[in-house]
Structure formats: structure tokens, C-alpha cells
Chains A and B, each alone.
Chain A
Amino acid sequence: MDSEIESVQKGISQLYSDYPRLTPNVFCDFYVRVFPPSGLRRFFRKQVLFAFDQFVPFKPLPYAQAFPFFEWGLNWCISGYSHQFLIIHAAVVEKHGNALILPGTPGSGKSTLCAALINKGWRLLSDELTLIDCQTGLITPVPRPVSLKNQSIELIANAFPHNQFSSVVHDTLKGSVTLMKPPAESISRADEIAAPCLVVFPKFQHQSSLNLTALPKAEAFMKLADLSFNYSVLGAEGFSLLADLVERCRVYDFVYDGNFDQASDCFEQLLGDFGRG
């Protein structure tokens, strides 16, 4: 990672401070850079670019979005160049070695729920990318900052005030965005893989009671395939991986109204059942 941009440096030193420092000459998977374009755009309506090594895959964004851009860019690197995993657009957390996958389209409240759960003792595996190892079917953690948007920023900041957040960036494609520092424990245990046990499609709905509906396996399969970044790249392998995943997990639709305690208890109970059953 290389950036001369202050907000990026600050974001990284703030949110990545629990990561071990690399020794020199250690192998790196991705070389990324966030930098202002050359020329006149340095002075007027400043912009920022993201580069994967020397390759610049995206159009520039406004300068203020530099730090979230780094996070999005890194997600793009992982999802585009890691086909040794089946990658699902889902948050994933773990308790007692059992992983809970929270897939969801943008706006469904998966990151909010994920942020809440890791504040309630669940281990963060990933907020954005569920990496299912093609060989083992187990989940490889990528614990990185949790991205919070719009109303959920305040919601999480109020509910769990001891967390550290990067400064809020407004007017991005996704609205207002901030990133929450992942718990130190999740980072120190980043090498511990977890077995997928539970898949829950969350949906945030005001003033609704908590509602859990078991989802038919076939429907769950189609929904997950739809949310996978590289299902089609993996072909038959992707199909059998996803079939295995759906086979070994319980799958639910889950409507909640922001009562995180209730949600956490509910999932814990489901995992407990899983352990016994």
C-alpha cells in the first residue's frame, strides 16, 4: 500500500493499527496505490485514483473519498483475483468455530448487523467478502474495517460508543460512509478458519418484530449464486461448492428492527441447536 494522501494515511494508521507490521521483503498479494492524478486536476476539484500495481481499473473519485476508495479497491482486488475461493458478497462472523454468513444486497443492513454482532462477542471474519476455500469448503477470514453507511453510522456509534471510526465521507455513490475498526482479537485470530453453519439473509425493517423464516435450500442456492462474485468463473466447481454450503448450513430469512441483543441471542441459539443436532 502506498499513498501520499493524508486521509488514507490517517485511516490506515487508525484502523489498521492492530495488524502486525510486515518485515521487509515479505511476499505481498496485492500492491495498491491511492494517489491524485497528475496535471491540472491537482488544483481544481481534486480527484483521487486507485491503482492495482500499475493497473488503474476505475475512474477517479473526488479527493475526499480517498480512504473508502482504498477499501473498495482492495475488495475489488480480492474478489477479482482470488478464484481459489468461492466469493460471496456477505458479512461473516463466528462463534465457537461456527460461522454465520450474512449475505445481502446493499441496503439490507448486513454490515450494520455485522458491526453489532462483533460488538457482542462474535469474531469478525469479514464484513464484505465471504471467502469459501475451494479445497475445503471452509471460510478464510479477511478481517478488515467494517463499512457503515448513512443511518447505520449513527445507530452503531450510539449503541457502541467505544468503537473507533474513520471520519465520515459524504456524497459517495453509497451515500455517507464511515469505516469501523475491527476488534483486535479478530485480527490476531485471522489465521483461524471457520466452518460455515448458518446462513441468514438479514432485512432491516422499522418497528417489525423479529422474524425468522426457514428458506428452502433451492431458493437459498439461487440467492447465494446471485450474490457471488465468481460463481460463474468457477463453473461446475462453483456449483458443487455452493451446493455443499447450502447442504451443510441452515438457511433463514431474517427480519429485524434494530434490536441487536435479540438478534445475537437468536443466532447463538440457532448455532447451539446446530451443535446439538
Chain B
Amino acid sequence: MKDAVFMILFTTEISIKHRIVLNNYWAILGVGNIPSKLLVNQLIVYKNTIQLSDEEWELLLRQARAAGVISRLAFFWKEFGLLAPPNFVAPHLNSAYKYWMSQKRLVNWELYNLQQIFEQLQLPLILLKGTAYLAANLNAGLGRVFSDIDILVPKHRLQDVKERLKWHGWYPEKMDGYDRRYYERWMHELPPMRHVQRGTTLDVHHNILPETCTLCPEAELLLKAAVKIPGSDCWVLAPEDMILHSASHLFWGGEFDNGLRDLSDMDLLLREFSRNDMGFWQKLLGRANVLGMARPLFYALRYSVKMLHTPVPDAVLQNPALTVSGGFKNRVMDMLFIPALMPIHPSCSDRWTGFARWLLYIRSHWLKMPWYLLILHLSRKAWMRLTGKEQH
């Protein structure tokens, strides 16, 4: 019990329609789960047969909450009957489910409003991350919660977009001059904007990685490949780009607060895209090369396979374009990424977990900025902290 980690994750697999498989964390340890079939609303699903004790249910709830996947858990219970939570767990899942439903309503309303603005701007409203999954009705949008809406606009229209958004009540959040200039000069997004009445936060990106990052792709290519969501006025990145964005965000971003949730997103996306399009894997590899993002893709595939059993063909995993580093480096990265991607909860951490997350945080800065900028930036941050001008 002490070290056993009960993290149930949900993954969608190839089938005529949808087929949802409940994976559990034991799978990582090499103990598979044995699902039985169940038909719900034309969805072929596997029913979880794992018996959890009261204590395990409690721990599951706490870990799911820590990892930001409790609503996803609730969704699969409510919609697909994949779990049979006992009476003391059900209200918590119910609560998370209702919260997600309310978020979905809220996001739809915000998107409706943004569509009007983007119509005036004569720009496609391109959504990123959680917002995109939800709006495009992807499996990764099921039970997915997020704290802000992310959109992508062409860099040359940035000022335009900002002005127009201000007219409609979106204002940049307060920050000091240095931070603002830093955002404007080096970042791939505007400082977060908040709606004065509704309080929603909007992140306006003009790229998916900071421009200081050597991996920063050509935004033009992403914009050109974006696709319209059928029956909607919103756009999302092409499937391959969506994966690459998610991968770079997780493995180059350095923050793992929602690491497992993001990995689970990627797993769901990979399963869904590869099911819908036979040529998906080739396209994905090709695109990673064009955008120069083979490295984050390698990690994304490696860890979603290792941790969530994503069905990635061996040919893809062993593709020379991806396997660019040797066994030793991979083993080191495993030692860092696997603990860092666990739910942030004492039951999933050991004494190295914090250190691993810290090393990866440092690594991400190293990857994202040239050294001279990094030194300047970090010394300023340290100075602000020392002099008490910054509280975090």
C-alpha cells in the first residue's frame, strides 16, 4: 500500500466507433488489467473489473485531484459506466463532473463571443490545447479542465488583435515593466488577458514555443495547416501539429503541475488520430522533421507508451528520425521524467521526485533561452526575490 500508486487513466483505442479502455497504473509496473466488454450508447467499452478497497478509492480520488484528471475520471464513470465508485466516492466524482459541465458551458459562451471579434478582424479563431480539444469534440476534451483559453494568431496581426480584444473587455493583467517587455521581446504569447466582467483568462499566442527556443517552429507553417472544426467557426491546429504542440509544451515547458493530465491528453489524441487516419504516423514523423520537433515527439511517444500503453507501432518508435540519443541518455531522462510526470501527491513521490522536477525546470530554461539571456533573466528574478519585490 505504501508505494503502490493507483492512478487510473483513461485511454481510447481503435474500434469501429469508440472503444474506451481503462488503464491503470499497475500497467506501468507490468501488471495488466483485464477488462470485460460492455455496450453503452453505441460505444463499445471495457468495464473495469478492478476491485478497489475503501482506502484505495480514497487514494485514487486524491491522486486524480492532484493530477487534474478527476473530471476525466468522473466523465468515464457518468458517461461510460467504467467505474463503480462506492457511495462515499460518488459525490466527489459527481461534483467534479458538474464542474466540468459548467466549464464547458462557459467556454462555449466565451468562444461564441470571441468568434464575433475574430469575424470583425477577419481572422480565423484558432484554438490551442484544452480549448481546442473541447471545441473539436476530441476524446482528449472529455472531462478536460483548464484555467484559460488559448488562441493562436499571426504575429503581424498581434497588435490589431490586442486592440480589438480591449474594445470587447479583455485587458492585459498587471505586471511590471520588465516582465511586460520580456513578454513582448522574447515570448511566444502576449501577457495573459482577462475579461473585465467575466474574469475569464485568455492567452494570445503567436507561436507555440518562445522565440528564444532553438526548437521554435515557423508559426507560418502552423497557421497554414490549421483546420476548421466542422459545423463551427473555430479552427484548431492540424492533428500532427496538435501533438507536436502538446509534446513541446510538456517536455520543453519545465512545469509538471498537470504533467500526467497532459500526457493523458497526448495518449488520447494519438489513439484517436491514428484510428481515424491510417497514414497518421507517417504524417506525424514527417511533420516533426519539417518543424524540427523530433526531439519532443520522441519523449512524448516514449513516455505515453511507457506510462499509458499508447499503441504506437514499433516502426515509429524505432524510426531513425526519432531515436537520436543513446541508451544511457534515455535512461537518465527516464529517471527524471517518469517521477516528474506522476501526480503531485505524497503517495506518488519519493525523495528524488522534487529534485527531478527541479532539474527538469532548469533544463527547460536552458533549452528555451540562450545562456546570456538566461543569466540576465535569472539574476533579475533572484534579485527581485531577495529584495522582496516579488513574492513567489
Q: Hey, which bits of chain A sit against chain B, CB under 8 A? A: 25-29, 31, 53-55, 81-84, 232-235, 237
> B30-78: which have CB < 8 Å to A?
54-55, 57-58, 62, 65-66
**B88 in contact (CB, < 8 A):** yes
Contact (Cβ within 8 A) B91 A232: no
Contact (Cβ within 8 A) A54 B105: no
Q: Name the A residues within 8 Å of B54 (CB-CB).
A: 25-27
By CB atoms of chain B within 10 A, which of A25, A28, A84 has the most? A84
Contact (Cβ within 8 A) A27 B57: yes
Contact of B88 among A27, A53, A81 (CB under 8 A): A27
Contact (Cβ within 8 A) A28 B94: no
Q: Hey, which bits of chain B sit against chain A, CB under 8 A? A: 54-55, 57-58, 62, 65-66, 88-89, 91-92, 94-96, 98-99, 101-102, 105, 344-346
25 example contacts (A-B, Cβ-Cβ < 8 A) are as follows: A27-B58, A27-B88, A27-B89, A29-B88, A29-B92, A53-B62, A53-B65, A53-B66, A53-B345, A54-B66, A54-B346, A55-B66, A81-B95, A81-B96, A82-B91, A83-B94, A83-B95, A83-B96, A83-B99, A84-B94, A233-B99, A233-B102, A235-B101, A235-B102, A237-B98
Q: Name the B residues within 8 Å of A25 (CB-CB).
A: 54-55
| Distance in angstroms between the alpha carbons of A52 and B54 in the assembled complex | 20
Contact (Cβ within 8 A) B102 A28: no
Q: Name the B residues within 8 Å of A53 (CB-CB).
A: 62, 65-66, 345
| Distance in angstroms between the alpha carbons of A84 and B98 in the assembled complex | 8
Q: Which residue of A lies closest to B391 (CB)?
A: A59
Q: Which residue of A lies closest to B349 (CB)?
A: A54
| Distance in angstroms between the alpha carbons of A81 and B99 in the assembled complex | 9
Contact (Cβ within 8 A) B344 A54: yes
Contact (Cβ within 8 A) B102 A232: yes
Contact (Cβ within 8 A) B98 A81: no
Q: Name the B residues within 8 Å of A28 (CB-CB).
A: 58
Contact (Cβ within 8 A) A84 B102: no
Contacts known (A27-B54, A53-B345, A54-B344); A83 close to B65, Cβ less than 8 A: no
Q: Which residue of B lies closest to A133 (CB)?
A: B91
Q: Which residue of B lies closest to A234 (CB)?
A: B98
Give the shortest distance, in Å, between A106 (CB) and chain B (any CB): 21
Contact of A233 among B91, B92, B98 (CB under 8 A): B98
| Distance in angstroms between the alpha carbons of A81 and B88 in the assembled complex | 14
Q: Name the A residues within 8 Å of B344 (CB-CB).
A: 54
By CB atoms of chain A within 10 A, which of B54, B96, B99 has the most? B99
Give the shortest distance, in Å, between A109 (CB) and chain B (any CB): 30
Closest 5 CB pairs of A and B: A83-B98, A83-B95, A233-B102, A84-B91, A27-B88
By CB atoms of chain B within 10 A, which of A54, A55, A234, A237 has the most? A54
Contact (Cβ within 8 A) B105 A81: no
| Distance in angstroms between the alpha carbons of A29 and B95 in the assembled complex | 12
Q: Name the B residues within 8 Å of A235 (CB-CB).
A: 101-102, 105
Q: Name the A residues within 8 Å of B94 (CB-CB).
A: 83-84
Q: Which residue of B lies closest to A24 (CB)?
A: B55
Give the shortest distance, in Å, between A208 (CB) and chain B (any CB): 37
Give the shortest distance, in Å, between A54 (CB) and chain B (any CB): 6
Instruction: For the A-B complex with A82-B91, A235-B101 known, give 11 more contacts whose Cβ atoms are closer than 8 Å.
Output: A25-B54, A25-B55, A26-B54, A29-B88, A31-B62, A54-B66, A54-B346, A81-B96, A83-B95, A84-B95, A237-B98
